[in-house]
Amino acid sequence: MNRNEARAKTIDILLGDQNPNADFYASLFEQYNYEDSEMTPISPSKMGNVSINNNVVITEEAYKELIKIRSITQQTNQEVSFLIFGEEKPNGTAWLDTVISTYQPSARTSASFDGINKSLNEYVKDIENGEFNNGNKQIICHGHTHGTSPVSDNFSFGDLISYVEFNNSHPLFINRQVETMALLMPPSGDFNFLLYENNPQYEGFYTFPMVYLRHPDGTAVELPAYQNGNYIINTNQTGTR
């Protein structure tokens, strides 16, 4: 799937008849008339939640790397891209433990994955070769930060296009033999994980409301997810997957 196809798919998900909140998302495109429509902010407040069993656990080592990445954006206002590798535990928990990022100072403010595609390709090849054949499904999380702007706590239309495009970039992803997800780290300090579900019965974008930091001694601390940001409107999220 190329970007134009992913764009059309994203429009259909947000504005199609199957979305009961299509009028709300249409109003965002009308209200935020950016020169580049991919910059249109898309509030997560009308997205559904994943099942309560599908929470996210970030190991302490991965958390420290994510904080370093967020601090780069705080200092430069430049978006930083990264990947997180992990696995889905038998109870449905997304266990994320390895962060890959190759930050390069740049005049552009948007995130680029060019520098980490090699690591992604190597990881996928290892999965294909059975390097992680422990019975658990591997997870690849596509992530980036947002710099400060009046609406930067929200996803952008372009972010959602990228998530759909990424999900369709390899047969293992399309068939869900490898689970894909996304993380946006906005200025608010939230850890906003998102799932693009390509199952026709549930197709859409779903948020992960429960995110935890797991310490080496086994204790866990809840991290903020969709709590502190200015998400354009505040309303109860609807729907489950």
Structure confidence at residue 172 (pLDDT): 94
Classify residue 36 as left (phi > 0), alpha (psi -120 to 50) or beta: beta
Class of domain 3-223: alpha beta
Residue-averaged pLDDT of the chain: 89
Count Cα neighbours of 12 within 13 Å in the Cβ-side half-sphere. Answer: 10
Structure confidence at residue 111 (pLDDT): 54
* Residue 116 pLDDT exceeds 60: yes
Where are the domains positioned within the chain? 3-223
* Residue 200 pLDDT exceeds 80: yes
Tokens of 209: 């409301």
Note the pTM of the prediction, 2 decimals: 0.91
CA distance 182 to 192: 8
Query: What proportion of the chain, given as a percentage, has pLDDT over 90?
Result: 77
* Residue 178 pLDDT exceeds 60: yes
Tokens of 168: 């369709």
